[in-house]
A and B are shown apart, each in its own frame.
Chain A
Amino acid sequence: MTVGGSGGAVAEHPPPSRTPAVPDAGRRRPLGARLLGPQRRNLWFWAFVGPFALGLGLFTYVPLAWSVYLSFFDAHNTVSPSGSDFVGLGNYTAMVTNEAFLGSLGTFALFTVFIVPATYALSLGLALMVNRLRIAQAFFRSVFFLPTACSYVVAAVIWKLSIFNGVRFGLANTVLGWFGADGTAWLSTTDPPWYWLVIVTVRLWLQAGFYMILFLAGLQRISPQLYEAAAVDGARPGWQTFRYVTFPQLRATSVAVVLLLVINAFQAFDEFYNLLSDARGYPPYARPPLVYLYYTALGRDQNLGLGSAGAVILALIIALATVVQARWFGLGRKEE
């Protein structure tokens, strides 16, 4: 790839001798020319994509490989396997038989079951309502989108210390008091599991507006002629139009939204960590995988080998779930 050293002008005026208009099938072109491709497109491709790909390789793939390597060692307090015992698949068998880890996967599954449909329904509902507005559309869009600017740290401060403040009086308990109900210690009540309400509402508030924008974009791409045709065919405005025109037309958006929601749910960490842990530590309930792994790898034990094995298992599950989902929805078919 050293041939392109002379910069931009080279590819703009490729010397005809290097790229014959009619490729000569009988003779192999020189290696350099083949590497560069027609009009040095390969070189240009890598000039554009290379820096990004290189950085991604260094800061994602290298650590990933390192993690996989480390997961075969009994590595405590160290991230270099030298000096640690090679335990083969020991960490993996320990992980898949570990009730706490399996419980964390259960927590994740439960969280996904709550948060994906809830966000989907809320953001689609908001988009449908906002889209029909003739006045104040920008205002409502801004209001629902604004929480996107908030961090989980800030949101956790508000949720934990103001709305769902169970120790002292907070907004939720004050409102309950108006109806004569007793206050609840929201974050520490596990039966019924009120902490789920806190965790789900934080994320709903933070992310619904972003997905609403995606749905709004999808809605605006639906051709008005489709609605006219539906009206001619006798579809009543409202549910029927939504059922037979709007919803099917939003299919591509829906696929993207669900995919992003599931991936994001898998990576849940910030709100669980900020809401549930305190000076006394982290309660054993409601630990999603990332929180569990964080405590395994960086907690008192510093069991980095075991933590890496759990992380690899988690990555495989996510990859599998995403591929299955993508196949199922037929994502990427257009590109082939």
Chain B
Amino acid sequence: MDDALTRAGRALRVVLLVALALLFLVPFYLLVRNGLATERDITAPDWTFFPRVLQWSNLTEVFQDPNLPLGRALLNSTLIAVSTTAGTVLLASLAGYGLARIPYRHANAVFYAILGTLMVPAAVTFVPSFVLVSSLGWISTLRGLVIPTLFSAFACFIFRQYFLGFPRELEDAARVDGLGYWRTYWRIVVPNARPVFAAVGTIVFIGAWNAFLWPLVIGQDQEAWTVQVALSTFTTAQNLNLHELFVAAAVSIAPLVVVFLLLQRYIVAGVERSGIDD
């Protein structure tokens, strides 16, 4: 009887999982459905699960709309996300390693000063940061969009926790061989810590790609719009073309979904070994 119960429980679990998975996928489906539907089909009072007509021309139409510089926005988002990721990973990993492995009397104080900024809400620093960036003349520039966002306390925290749990023997061997901190870091630590680099890199990339408020304020010229800003200005426009909006939104998440599915293994491994919860 126990066996039957266990089997019933397992079946129930699978049914529940499949149902939840479908629920999680519905929004993605709607994005694609509306992106490929006609305007009439989206707004029809008798809403249907499948669109009546598949309008593939939406895909090319959205790139030709002069009000929505989608190609340029995609390029900007790519440049911003790539440089933000590279810069953040470099700076935060160095800091995390220093905090975890170089004995220094005030290391804990420095660590808490960094960690404390996690609690600072965006609203507190948002206006003065804007003034700082504009007085530097960085409005609507790649510098202004990237540099102020490079110092992620969260990334530093993850790296520190990871390096605390990193086997010391490897580094000790390197030290005995006469390598200093610098070369130990580049030759021993980085190659052995690839999963955490991939994990943090992906998380930062997603965050940079999806960032909204900062690019909205700093990227004032249309030339400097990111994908998110372009989408949001599109929603507030007077002539709201839903089919264009949905196909643009779908196009905007496509690169991330690809990055994500390719690197998912590393993200999971990185989080697992990062010791975020130790």
Note whether A and B form a binding pair: yes
Contact with B along A285-316 (1 / 0, CB 8 A): 00001100110011000001001101110110
Complexed CA–CA distance, A335 and B275 (Å): 13
Chain A residues with Cβ below 8 Å from B272 are: 216-217, 220-221
Please report the C-alpha to C-alpha distance between residue A37 and residue B107 in the assembled complex, in whole angstroms: 13
Candidates A13, A146, A171, A294; contact of B257 at CB < 8 Å: A146
Interface residues of B in 61-104 (CB under 8 A from A): 91-92, 94-95, 97-99, 102-104
Interface residue? A33 (CB, 8 A): no
Decide if A84 is an interface residue (CB 8 Å cutoff): no
- Residues A56 and B21 in contact in the complex (CB < 8 Å), given A149-B253, A294-B123: no
Chain B residues lying within 8 Å of A171, measured Cβ to Cβ, are: 26, 30, 47
How many A residues face the partner with a CB closer than 8 A? Answer: 108
The B125-161 residues at the A interface (CB cut-off 8 A) are 125-132, 147-148, 150-151, 153, 156
Residue B1 interfacial (CB < 8 Å): no
Q: Which residue of B lies closest to A236 (CB)?
A: B2
With contacts A48-B97, A48-B181 known, is A269 near B122, CB below 8 A?
yes
Q: Indicate the member of A129, A157, A257 with the most B CB atoms within 10 Å.
A: A157
CA distance A237 to B94 in the complex (A): 45
CB of B170, distance to nearest CB on chain A (Å)? 17
Q: How many Å from the CB of A22 to the closest CB on chain B?
A: 19
Cα A133 to Cα B16 in complex, Å, equals: 13
Residue ID in chain A nearest B87 by CB atoms:
A55
B173 surroundings in chain A (CB, below 8 A): none
Whether A64 and B183, one on each chain, are in contact in the complex, defined by CB atoms closer than 8 angstroms, is no
**Cβ of B56 under 8 Å from chain A:** no
B259-278 near A? 1/0 per residue, CB < 8 Å = 11100100110011000111
Q: Among residues 223 to 259 in chain B, which have CB atoms less than 8 Å away from a CB atom of chain A? A: 228, 231-232, 235-236, 242, 245-246, 249, 252-253, 256-257, 259
Taken together as a complex, chains A and B put the C-alpha atoms of A235 and B182 apart, in Å, by 51
How would residues 115 to 132 of chain A score, 1 for a CB under 8 Å from any chain B CB and 0 otherwise?
000000000001001101
Residue B45 is within 8 A (CB to CB) of chain A in the complex: yes
Tell me the count of chain B residues lying within 8 A, CB to CB, of chain A.
96
**List of A residues within 8 angstroms of B47 by Cβ:** 168-171, 173-174
Quick check: B277 and A315 within 8 Å, CB to CB?
no
Quick one: which of A183-209 are within 8 Å of B by CB? 205, 209
Taking the nearest CB of chain B, how far is it from the CB of A33, in angstroms?
15
Identify which of B120, B122, B179, B257 contacts A149 (C-beta below 8 A). B257
Residues in B neighbouring A168, C-beta threshold 8 A: 43, 45, 47
Q: How far is the CA of A148 from the CA of B264 in the complex (A)?
A: 11
Residue of A nearest to B164 (CB): A335
B128 x A63 contact (CB < 8 A):
yes
Min CB–CB distance B129 → chain A (angstroms): 5
Q: Is the CB of A154 within 8 A of B31?
A: yes
| A79 and chain B: residue at smallest CB distance | B131
With contact pairs A53-B95, A53-B110, A154-B253 given, residues A205 and B228 touching in the complex (Cβ less than 8 Å)? no
**Bound complex: CA of A312 vs CA of B257, how far in Å?**
38
Contact A49-B94, Cβ < 8 Å, known A79-B128, A158-B27, A213-B268: yes
Is the CB of A145 closer than 8 A to any CB of chain B?
yes
In the complex, what distance in Å separates the CA atom of A310 from the CA atom of B126? Answer: 13
Q: Which residues of A contact B24 (CB under 8 A)?
A: 143-144, 146-147, 205, 209
- Please measure, in the bound complex, the distance between the C-alpha atom of A153 and the C-alpha atom of B229, giving whole angstroms: 9
CA distance A93 to B242 in the complex (A): 45
Flag if B16 contacts A158 (CB, 8 Å): no
A12 with B179: CB separation less than 8 A: yes
CA distance A162 to B35 in the complex (A): 11
Closest Cβ of chain B: how far from A206's Cβ, in Å? 10
Q: A152 contacts which chain B residues (CB < 8 A)?
A: 210, 212
B276 touches A214 (CB 8 A): yes
Instruction: Let me know if B264 and A145 touch, CB within 8 A.
Output: yes
**A276 to B: closest C-beta gap in Å:** 13
Evaluate contact between A146 and B276: CB separation under 8 angstroms.
no
Is there a chain A Cβ closer than 8 Å to B206's Cβ? Answer: yes
Known: A145-B264, A269-B213, A274-B232. A253 touches B277 (CB 8 A): yes
Per-position contact with B for A246-272: 1 when CB-CB < 8 Å, else 0? Answer: 000000110111000001001101100
Q: Are A217's CB and B98's CB within 8 A?
A: no
Smallest CB-CB separation from B274: which chain A residue? A217
A153 touching B104 by the CB < 8 A rule? Answer: no
Residue of A nearest to B21 (CB): A143
Within 8 Å of chain B (Cβ to Cβ): is A102? no
Look across to chain B and name the residue whose beta carbon is closest to the beta carbon of A279: B236
List 17 A-B residue pairs with CB atoms under 8 Å apart, sorted by A's residue number: A12-B180, A42-B105, A48-B181, A144-B24, A147-B27, A149-B206, A157-B231, A157-B235, A157-B245, A162-B31, A169-B44, A170-B47, A238-B9, A293-B123, A307-B127, A314-B124, A315-B124
Interface residues of A (CB under 8 A from B): 8-9, 11-13, 37, 41-42, 44-49, 51-53, 55-56, 58-64, 66-67, 70, 79-80, 126, 129-130, 132-133, 138, 140-155, 157-159, 161-163, 168-171, 173-174, 205, 209, 213-214, 216-218, 220-221, 237-238, 252-253, 255-257, 263, 266-267, 269-270, 274, 278-279, 289-290, 293-294, 297-298, 304, 307-308, 310-312, 314-315, 318-319, 322, 334-335
Name 13 extra pairs, CB < 8 A, besides A49-B94, A297-B127.
Answer: A41-B104, A45-B103, A48-B94, A48-B102, A49-B98, A53-B113, A140-B17, A149-B206, A159-B27, A209-B24, A217-B272, A307-B123, A307-B127
The 3 closest A-B pairs by CB, nearest first: A48-B98, A151-B210, A12-B180
